[in-house]
Amino acid sequence: MVVSSYKFRLYPTKTQESRLDDAMIPKDKVYSKAAQMVLWQFYNNLKTLSSLSKKDKLIGKLRFKPKSRYNSINYNQSGFKLLPDNIIKLSKIGKIKCVIHRKILGKIKEIHVKKEITGVWHAIAICENECKKSCSLLRKKIIAIDVGINNYCYDSDGHVIKHPQILKNSEEKLKRSQRKLSRKVKGSSNRLKEKLRLAKIHQKIKYQRNDFLHKISRHYVDNYDTIFVEELKIQNMVKNHHLAKSISDSSWNSFFQKLEYKAANAGILFAKVAPHGTSQSCSNCGRMVKKTLAIRTHHCPYCGLVIDRDYNASLNIKQRGIDSLPTGCREVTPLERTSLAVIQADHGHVISMNQETNHFSDE
């Protein structure tokens, strides 16, 4: 069984908004299943804290949350119904207009109604269905992806996807709004208005980032039957204070998650390989060529290969991925290191010998 979620925009009336706000705190007029879910979540949190304490993990003290911090309500198993003409019916709330922009597959097990800090409402349908597509043993179109900061990713076919730098492009707006917010008197209506403006900027950044990640993940899933990436320890990487903001803006973990679930739904293979030495090892001769992050070109003194360091890393990721496959699944010829690319003498960049028409930028 496969569990998937579908997120839709809700357009409740003022009366319905008031009822939804009240439903986030268990009261007499709240649907019983929704109230049970709040209590279940509370006791589940206590159980989790207890288990962490027994493992000698550092945990904080319990504290009461204000009503403003409750922003969701769960309808588990019942209390909801999807109606024609983009209408969803919630118990004790009524019929709410929504935008169902794609077909829901499977049986709906839960409906989560969530209110964003900007006042926007969403319904998240949690569905369960059978996995009809199985992963094929044929491995004819293999791609390996090396993610980075200068370029968002460089794949083993020589395609380059430029980094959108979404946070950087909105940084001035964020700073301006944050300065204005800091000058407002706490509890004043002007502070609440500025807080809303700041939240909308953050929300736009979130939407832009998700849109970008969905598009490139969909491109790779639609065009390849095997995808390899590095198994990065992102929590350790963000400890570098010089690169932490850029790494966080890149959302590599979210990108890998989208690749993984889309690949599972499409019946193709997605796997992670060990990242150690992929940038330092020569993809042609296998010798180690040490270089700092500032050196962006791989120049091997042993075999003379000169290519972009990220392209070199993607070729190493691809070979490691192929080596990790069972022998019976290797329907492709192992990576031929010297014949995959030609080197342009004027730029030192690489062009794939079998490169297809590409909608992304090439170097």
Structure confidence by residue, pLDDT tens digits, 223-247: 998 999 999 988 888 888 888 898 8
**Whether 290 and 158 share a structural domain:** yes
Q: Are residues 99 and 226 in the same domain?
A: no
Which pLDDT score, from 0 to 100, does residue 363 have? Answer: 44
| 89 has a pLDDT exceeding 80 | yes
pLDDT value for 341? 33
Under a CB-based contact definition with an 8 Å cutoff, are residues 26 and 39 in contact?
yes
Last residue of a domain, one of 68, 99, 129: 129
Structure tokens at 203: 């929300």
Q: Has 146 been annotated as catalytic?
A: yes
- Domain range enclosing 84: 2-129
State phi, psi for 352 to the nearest 5 degrees. Answer: -70, 140
Most confident range (mean pLDDT) of 60-69, 166-175, 346-355 is: 166-175
Q: Which residue is it, tokens 């803006």? A: 249
- Which pLDDT score, from 0 to 100, does residue 351 have? 31
Q: Where a domain ends, among 96, 129, 162?
A: 129
Question: 251 lies in a domain?
Answer: yes
Is 137 within the bounds of a domain? Answer: no
By C-alpha distance, which of 356, 318, 164, 302 is closest to 310?
318
Does the annotation mark 230 as catalytic? yes
- Based on the fold, state whether residues 239 and 280 are members of the same structural domain: yes
Please provide the average confidence, as pLDDT, over all residues in the chain: 82
Confidence category of residue 42, pLDDT binned at 50, 70, 90: confident
- Per-residue pLDDT at 32: 66
> Could you tell me if residue 158 is inside a domain?
yes
Looking at the fold, whether 146 and 122 belong to one and the same domain comes out as no
**219 and 93 in one domain?**
no
Q: Residue 13: inside a domain, yes or no?
A: yes
| Whether 180 and 124 share a structural domain | no
- Output the CA–CA distances (angstroms, integers) from residue 153 to 34, 161, 252, 259, in the order listed: 43, 5, 10, 13
Q: Which of 157, 225, 308, 310 is catalytic?
A: 310
Question: Would the pTM of this model clear 0.75, i.e. be above it?
Answer: yes
Q: How many domains does the chain have?
A: 2
Do 218 and 256 share a structural domain?
yes
Which one from 110, 146, 155, 225 is the annotated catalytic residue?
Answer: 146
Tell whether 183 is covered by a domain: yes
Q: What percent of the chain has pLDDT over 70?
A: 83
* pLDDT score for 328: 57
Instruction: Give the per-residue pLDDT at 353.
Output: 30
Query: Residue 136: inside a domain, yes or no?
Result: no
**Close Cβ partners of 11 (under 8 Å, ≥ 6 residues apart):** 96, 97, 98, 99, 121
* In-domain check, residue 267: yes
- If asked whether residues 38 and 111 sit together in one domain, one would say yes
CA-based Rg of the chain, rounded to a whole angstrom? 25
Identify whether residues 315 and 354 lie together within a single domain. yes
The per-residue pLDDT for range 301-330, each reduced to its tens digit, is 999 999 999 999 999 999 999 888 876 565
Do 106 and 49 lie in one domain? The reply is: yes
Catalytic residue among 110, 194, 230, 308: 230
Least confident span in 34-43, 125-134, 329-338: 329-338
Residue-wise pLDDT tens digits, 100-136: 888 888 889 889 999 988 889 999 999 887 765 666 6
Q: What is the pLDDT of residue 349?
A: 35
- With a cut of 50, say whether residue 357 has pLDDT above it: no
Count Cα neighbours of 99 within 13 Å in the Cβ-side half-sphere.
7
Same domain as 93, residue 146 = no
pLDDT recorded at residue 30: 59
